[in-house]
Amino acid sequence: MLRNYLLLAIKNCRKQKMFSVINVLGLTVGIVCCLMIFLFIMNEFSYDRFHKNGEHIYRVMRRSHMNGDLRNIPYLAPPYAKALKNDYPDAIQQAVRIFPDNDLVTYNNISFNEKKVFLADNNFFQFFSFRLLKGNPATVLKDPNSIVMTASTAKKYFGKEDPIGKVISFNKKTQRTVTGIAEDVPANSHLEFDIVVPTANWENTPFFNQWTNNGVFVYVQLNPAVQPTHLMKLFPAFMERYLGEWYRKMGFKNDLILQPLHGIYFDTDSPFDHEVKHGSKKMVYIFMSIAILILVIACINFMNLSTARATDRSKEVGVRKVMGAVRTQLAWQFIFESLLFATVAAISALLLLQLIMPAYTGFLGYTLPAYWTNPWIYVFTVGVILVIGLLAGSYPALMLSSFSPIESLKGKLKTGKQGTFFREALVVFQFGISVLLTVCVAVVMKQMHFVRNTDLGFSKEQSMIVRLDNGAIWDKKIQFKTQAQADPAVAAVSLMSGEPGGFHDNYSFEAEGHPGEKLMFNTEFADFEYVKTLGLKIIAGRDFSPAFITDSTSAVLINRTAAVQLGYTPQQAVGKWINVTGVKERRTIVGVVEDYHFTSLKTEIAPLVISTQKDDRRLVLIRLNTDNIPAAVARIKKLYDVAAPDYPFAFDFLDERFNKLYKAEIKQESLLSIFSIIAIGIACLGLFGLASYTAIKRTKEIGVRKVLGSSVENIVLLLSKDLLKPVLLGTVIAIPVGFFVMQNWLQNFAYRTTIHWWLFLVAATVAVFIALLTVSVQAINAALVNPVKSLRTDQ
């Protein structure tokens, strides 16, 4: 029986080549989109799943109470790890600390400023399941002067030589021996490293022994019998024991929480967690929905063309029923044909996926795991085949198998208004989806244009960021700044703790007029040129100035939001005192700057204190004013090479750095654009098929109308209007849905664009125009056929 089903299916495909190609092409594109998104989703949900004890590993985080808000902070002080393990030995099996760092590594004449270095406890490779190609996980970091590199990093220094036993220079201060080679960190790891060195050499330094020096990640592995919620109930007593007195003195407190290892990647609530990889679960669900919608559009094409061609196959059904075929057999035959189409399309999709995979992974920015050896990709493909076969084939199968054999054989079968209504409803749904995606793309593009072009309150163009990320440039930062400032292409230079879009400290403050209150404000530590270099606007008081000797030690600037939170107008705030909680020396507010976006547009502008405290400088911001940027950069590089000759010169531009804050949204914009074009393309493919079929079925009618004097324009209008009605209805339905969906999406941004009515009109016009073009091409071809030829047909 299967053989007969197969032969009949092949016969029908040959008979209706164009419709068969449209069906297979539409399904192929739909399935390949689903496979691409499935691979992306599978990778997103696989983050950190390769760790052997991952179910019992947690990251310890501080929960800070800031102005009534709760914020989770991933950085702890080094003493936490040992204290937690000692205080709760039955609950915590092991703990590990990780301090992200960047260091100069030199071998022979090869030097690199490595940005992904972990200073970690010697049980790092026992705690986590990062695979070692060479070396023993238990002993590879036992030697205080050991170093472990990933395979690609080792190749960078040693080429094809065996790295084990080689000695490298670390920051030009110590010699370290390569004791292990790790496999390159998997793409689905929230932790990324190129080099791991043991913390043993830093154990006796002040940083590693003070409870208030928060800068390391602490991970713990719990006893399987211990519930994390039960352990967290014991943490308040732990914090009171070690930090209670200090917190009371500072006027605020932190709690401790446990964050599951498998939940770190999708946690985007912490604004401080920028040194590990994060993903957006919302983005995953968005693209999961897109995959389903595109597949539904492809299925609708198949159903529409199958039901439209019902009368063509009516005689076949009649003959088979007369010969004894029952309705169940006929239904399974048509479902088998659907499954066959789906199978051919799925195989084609897998081959197409292999061709476009390099471009896809290049767009994602990372290599996806090999999918040919992954059984889930085949399970998913088989599932898609079954869903398409049963979903898209069920209605045509039931409808065709229900035909009366007598009416079928007489050729008088009419599918009636019900069949037409069903096809039109599918087209409504199909183009509704297409227009919805187009509207989403339009709004995302408008918001990203708003993000890129809105006034941020500071000057970001031609502003270079040079990190003070090594001892050499740190020691000569004043010299470097002075020499850079002398360059004619440089407008201003400032040393600061964090650039807009970068990290800003949070401190607890006491302020005049707020007795007993502790106010958590963001803090920027900078020199006197900060306002000038960023182009900020002073709205009350004055800027820092060398003319005032006390500005170095006793002055601060605040932003407008901070003045409002203190209960003052900008003018009233000038002259009031403020100081860090626990510090006796008060500082006077000498000026107020207009609010500027020192974080992304996703968050409200927070209160900010700008202080001249000298200890904390992490970067040099150099604002250029030149038409020849490469030449200016080259001169600054020479200055850097003199100040830090052992370190390679690296820099960013502030506008590029700030735009990276919207990396996920920019990727959403690109993918939405691609998939919306695909969705409209598939929908138009089906519409083209329906238009072609309609033209064929009405060939004789077209001939009669032309003989009676009907013009080509009238015939085109006649053929187009019936197909465009459901397109227009789908568009009308999609617009309010799109408005609701995108209003919700825009809530991710504290500062967002306005959704104007014309945006929906443009999106709808584009979709309808494409549909009109698709239908008109076929309608014009039909209208131009010689009427004599048309009247000779059987249609």
Same domain, 633 and 720: no
pLDDT of residue 405 exceeding 80: no
Domain boundary pick from 263, 294, 310: 263
Residue 790 resides in a domain: yes
Same domain, 575 and 690: no
pLDDT confidence of residue 1: 58
Residue 447 resides in a domain: yes
Q: What is the pLDDT of residues 498-556, one digit of tens each?
A: 899 887 888 888 899 888 788 889 999 999 999 999 999 999 999 999 999 899 889 99
Domain boundary pick from 646, 675, 691: 646
Instruction: Count the residues in the chain.
Output: 795
Same domain, 601 and 682: no
Same domain, 612 and 713: no
Q: Which residues contact 97 (CB under 8 A, 6 or more apart)?
A: 78, 81, 120, 121, 199, 216, 217, 218
* Higher pLDDT pick, 695 / 592: 592
pLDDT of residue 314 exceeding 70: no
Q: What is the pLDDT of residues 752-791, one digit of tens each?
A: 888 888 888 888 888 778 777 777 776 676 666 666 555 5
Q: What is the DSSP letter of 185?
A: P
Same domain, 563 and 684: no
What does residue 335 show for φ and ψ, rounded to 5 degrees?
-65, -40
pLDDT confidence of residue 106: 92
Same domain, 485 and 626: yes
pLDDT of residue 36 exceeding 80: yes
Q: Which domain holds residue 765?
A: 418-451+661-795
How far is Cα 766 from Cα 680, in angstroms, rounded to an integer? Answer: 10
Residue 17 resides in a domain: no
Residue 403 resides in a domain: no
pLDDT confidence of residue 178: 96
Same domain, 641 and 685: no
- What confidence tier does 119 reach under pLDDT thresholds 50, 70, 90? very high
**Count of other CB atoms within 10 angstroms of residue 594:** 14
Same domain, 625 and 700: no
pLDDT confidence of residue 213: 86
Same domain, 632 and 689: no
Residue 236 resides in a domain: yes
What does residue 81 show for φ and ψ, rounded to 5 degrees?
-60, -50
If you average pLDDT over each of 201-205, 299-303, 790-794, which comes out highest? Answer: 201-205
pLDDT of residue 407 exceeding 60: no
Residue 456 resides in a domain: no
pLDDT confidence of residue 129: 95
What beta strand segments (E) does 373-504 contain? Answer: 463-467, 490-496
Same domain, 90 and 197: yes
pLDDT confidence of residue 674: 84
Residue 404 resides in a domain: no
If you average pLDDT over each of 33-47, 281-295, 412-426, which comes out highest? Answer: 33-47
Same domain, 581 and 485: yes
- Specify the number of domains making up the chain: 3
505 in Cβ contact with 205 (< 8 Å): no
Residue 12 resides in a domain: no
Nearest in space to 16 (alpha carbons), one of 308, 380, 355:
308
Q: What is the DSSP letter of 172?
A: T
Beta bridge partners of 178: 147
pLDDT confidence of residue 312: 58
**Which helix or strand (DSSP H or E) is residue 490 part of?**
strand 490-496
Mean pLDDT of the chain: 84
pLDDT of residue 81 exceeding 60: yes
Domain boundary pick from 204, 233, 263: 263
- What confidence tier does 636 reach under pLDDT thresholds 50, 70, 90? very high
How far is Cα 329 from Cα 334, in angstroms, rounded to an integer? Answer: 9
Same domain, 432 and 529: no
- What confidence tier does 440 reach under pLDDT thresholds 50, 70, 90? confident
